[in-house]
């Protein structure tokens, strides 16, 4: 009987043995390998993954405080670096290391040993060859299986995090950059300024609506801290809610750059297939082209927008009637978003265009409207917009804290399809004019005006309100 059983067992073993790889084994702490590459530097973590399995606490229980151990199971956990890095500010040469830790409630020691093949029970003696790194533990929700992860990846490195039980230990890893991101001040000097950027690439309709580029957009280049960066009103999935994209110009050679996309002031991707080529004349960049490096197609073309006070004034006052232009006060928006006066005057106040978006918008209004206009700007700056802004101003007028004109006061709005015109020679016939006459509490019954535009006729807005006004559309031609 026993002989038959052994014979049967031998047959079964013979049948199944070829199907089992020699290294196959069900382990209580399965091995894991996780890697992350940043800017050409690869980090690999090879480790066993023990489970808590109901044992608590993990630290101060399974692992004693002050006890040296490898963060894993069986063969020691290893870190492998393809290039030199820094971990929490400590230099680590490229290579493969076994990893050991000393847990403490307030501060952990991470020890990298050059011997990379050590069983977990054969703890190494502390020596000068080892690299010792300090890290601060954090409390987290329970993690059942010991885990290494890379939850944050940056252009210059990553965060590597050890987690098990209710403790995590984050480690900041910085890598060596393969590209130079900074420029000396004299090399960057030609580029800062405002550019009108025209889209020349595939038809915008070929893009999903959320990613559709503007035909004209504003790019404002600035230099600070060694970096040449831009705010670009591009619109699309790389921008913020307003459609403004942060861009870093990554130097290549001479006046050629790669655009690098940024978020919250941090570079996260360099677009190596796009080339930004500036045209520099007399040490000033007059414009640029952005090319697709694969097809050599010019996708965008940028033109520097001149911003001298004289030019801003000459363009802005075109919105006003001719007899008021010489004496009008003129203001423009500065880089901080505040209005500053660039020419003193009286009678009429003109607000110059914000250059760089490819179009022109200027307005002039009678000085008696300044309290009302200034209150609107103040509310907008504090985040109050739309109907809430109107109602807030009406309430101020009703309370006697905001003065409105006692007689009719005019607003003159002027728009052009382009902002690169010469005001001395250009007849802005392609633009449009829309005037408004303000007089508080006007009504349709008192004025005979409709409440909506019809056939180009004037119409009344905000009837019966403190800011009631007559909208008057006019032909585009401006008398000179």
CB atoms under 10 Å from CB of 70, counted, come to 25
> Does the pLDDT value for residue 16 go beyond 80?
no
Residue 477 tokens, joined: 């031609």
Question: Which range is least confidently modeled, 126-130, 277-281, 309-313, 409-413?
Answer: 309-313
Q: Do 458 and 349 lie in a common domain?
A: yes
As a 3-state breakdown, the chain gives helix, strand, coil percent values, each rounded to 5, of 15, 40, 40
Q: Is residue 134 part of a domain?
A: yes
Domain count, the chain: 3
Q: In the chain, pLDDT over 70 holds for what percent of residues? A: 85
Q: What average pLDDT score do residues 419-443 get?
A: 78
Question: Which range is least confidently modeled, 18-22, 65-69, 141-145, 384-388?
Answer: 18-22
Q: Do 337 and 211 lie in a common domain?
A: no
Q: Do 137 and 252 lie in a common domain?
A: no
Q: Do 44 and 121 lie in a common domain?
A: yes
Q: Do 339 and 260 lie in a common domain?
A: no
> Does the pLDDT value for residue 245 go beyond 90?
no
Q: Do 465 and 330 lie in a common domain?
A: yes
pLDDT at residue 240 in the model: 46
Q: What average pLDDT score do residues 62-83 get?
A: 95
Q: What average pLDDT score do residues 386-408 get?
A: 95
CATH number of the domain where residue 239 is located = 2.40.128
Q: Is residue 180 part of a domain?
A: no
Residue ending a domain, among 148, 175, 202, is 175
Q: How far is CA 228 from CA 186, 220, 247, 371, 395, in A?
A: 12, 11, 9, 40, 46
> Does the pLDDT value for residue 263 go beyond 90?
no
Q: Do 300 and 254 lie in a common domain?
A: yes
pLDDT at residue 70 in the model: 96
> Does the pLDDT value for residue 212 go beyond 70?
no
Q: What average pLDDT score do residues 126-152 get?
A: 96
Question: Which range is least confidently modeled, 7-16, 40-49, 319-328, 334-343?
Answer: 7-16
> Does the pLDDT value for residue 173 go beyond 60?
yes
Residues 433/414, Cβ–Cβ less than 8 Å:
yes
Domain span including residue 433: 309-474
pLDDT at residue 244 in the model: 76
Q: What average pLDDT score do residues 76-83 get?
A: 97
Q: Is residue 59 part of a domain?
A: yes
pLDDT at residue 237 in the model: 45
Best mean pLDDT range from 18-32, 124-138, 261-275, 331-345: 124-138
> Does the pLDDT value for residue 27 go beyond 70?
no
Q: Is residue 9 part of a domain?
A: no
Residue ending a domain, among 286, 304, 322, is 304
Encode pLDDT of 335-371 as tens digits: 677 899 999 999 999 999 876 555 788 999 999 999 9
Q: Is residue 241 part of a domain?
A: yes
Task: Give the pTM.
Answer: 0.55
For 314, phi and psi rounded to 5 degrees?
A: -60, -35
Q: Do 213 and 359 lie in a common domain?
A: no
Q: What average pLDDT score do residues 440-454 get?
A: 93
Rounded Cα distance between 325 and 479, Å, is 12
Q: Is residue 20 part of a domain?
A: no
pLDDT at residue 5 in the model: 45
Q: Do 150 and 260 lie in a common domain?
A: no
Q: Do 438 and 289 lie in a common domain?
A: no
Residue ending a domain, among 304, 337, 362, is 304
Q: How many contiguous H segments (helices) and E segments (strands) does the chain have?
A: 7, 28
Q: Is residue 247 part of a domain?
A: yes
Q: Do 138 and 222 lie in a common domain?
A: no
Which of the two residues, 432 and 160, has the higher pLDDT score?
160
Reported as type and span, the H/E element at residue 375 is: helix 370-381
> Does the pLDDT value for residue 15 go beyond 50?
no
Which of the two residues, 74 and 420, has the higher pLDDT score?
74
Torsion sign (Cα): 124, 127, 133, 135 = positive
Best mean pLDDT range from 8-17, 83-92, 331-340: 83-92
Q: Is residue 479 part of a domain?
A: no
Q: Do 328 and 461 lie in a common domain?
A: yes
> Does the pLDDT value for residue 475 go beyond 80?
no
Residue 15 tokens, joined: 């049948």
Residues in the chain: 480
């Amino acid at each position: 009987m026993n002989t038959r059983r052994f014979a049967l067992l031998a047959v079964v073993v013979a049948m199944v043995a070829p199907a089992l790889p020699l290294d196959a084994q069900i382990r209580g702490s399965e091995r894991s390998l996780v890697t992350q590459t940043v800017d050409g530097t690869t980090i690999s973590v090879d480790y066993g993954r023990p489970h808590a399995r109901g044992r608590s606490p993990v630290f101060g229980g399974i692992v004693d405080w002050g006890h040296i151990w490898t963060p894993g199971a069986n063969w020691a956990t290893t870190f492998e670096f393809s290039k030199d890095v820094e971990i929490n500010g400590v230099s680590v040469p490229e290579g493969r290391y076994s990893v050991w830790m000393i847990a403490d409630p307030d501060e952990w020691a991470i020890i990298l040993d050059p011997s990379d093949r050590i069983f977990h029970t054969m703890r190494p003696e502390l020596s000068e060859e080892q690299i010792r790194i300090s890290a601060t533990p954090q409390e987290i929700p329970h993690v059942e299986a010991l885990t290494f992860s890379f939850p944050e990846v940056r252009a210059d490195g990553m965060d590597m995090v050890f987690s098990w039980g209710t403790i995590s230990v984050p480690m900041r890893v910085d890598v060596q950059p393969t590209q130079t991101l900074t420029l000396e001040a004299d090399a960057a000097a030609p580029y800062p300024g405002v550019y009108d950027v025209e889209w020349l690439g595939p038809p915008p309709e070929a893009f999903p609506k959320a990613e559709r580029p503007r035909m004209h957009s504003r790019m404002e280049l600035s230099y600070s801290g060694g970096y040449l960066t831009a705010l670009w009103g591009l619109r699309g999935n790389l921008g913020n809610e307003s459609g403004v994209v942060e861009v870093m110009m990554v130097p290549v050679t001479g006046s050629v750059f790669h655009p690098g996309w940024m978020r919250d002031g941090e570079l996260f991707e360099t677009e190596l297939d796009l080339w930004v080529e500036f045209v520099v004349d007399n040490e000033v960049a007059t414009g640029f082209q952005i090319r697709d490096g694969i097809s050599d197609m010019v996708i965008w073309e940028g033109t520097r927008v001149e911003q001298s006070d004289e030019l801003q004034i000459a363009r802005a006052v075109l919105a006003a009637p001719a007899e008021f232009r010489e004496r009008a006060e003129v203001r423009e928006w500065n880089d901080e978003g505040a209005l500053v006066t660039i020419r003193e005057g009286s009678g009429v106040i003109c607000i110059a265009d914000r250059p760089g978006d490819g179009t022109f918008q200027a307005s002039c209004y009678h000085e008696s409207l300044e309290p009302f206009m200034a209150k609107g700007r103040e509310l907008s700056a504090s985040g109050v917009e739309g109907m809430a802004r109107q109602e807030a101003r009406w309430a101020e007028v009703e309370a006697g804290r905001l003065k409105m004109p006692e007689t009719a006061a005019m607003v003159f709005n002027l728009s052009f399809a382009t902002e690169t015109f010469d005001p001395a020679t250009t007849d802005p016939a392609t633009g449009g004019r829309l005037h408004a006459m303000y007089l508080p509490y006007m009504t349709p019954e008192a004025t005979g005006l409709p409440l909506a535009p019809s056939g180009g006729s004037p119409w009344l807005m905000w009837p019966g309100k403190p800011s009631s006004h007559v909208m008057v559309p006019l032909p585009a031609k401006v008398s000179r």
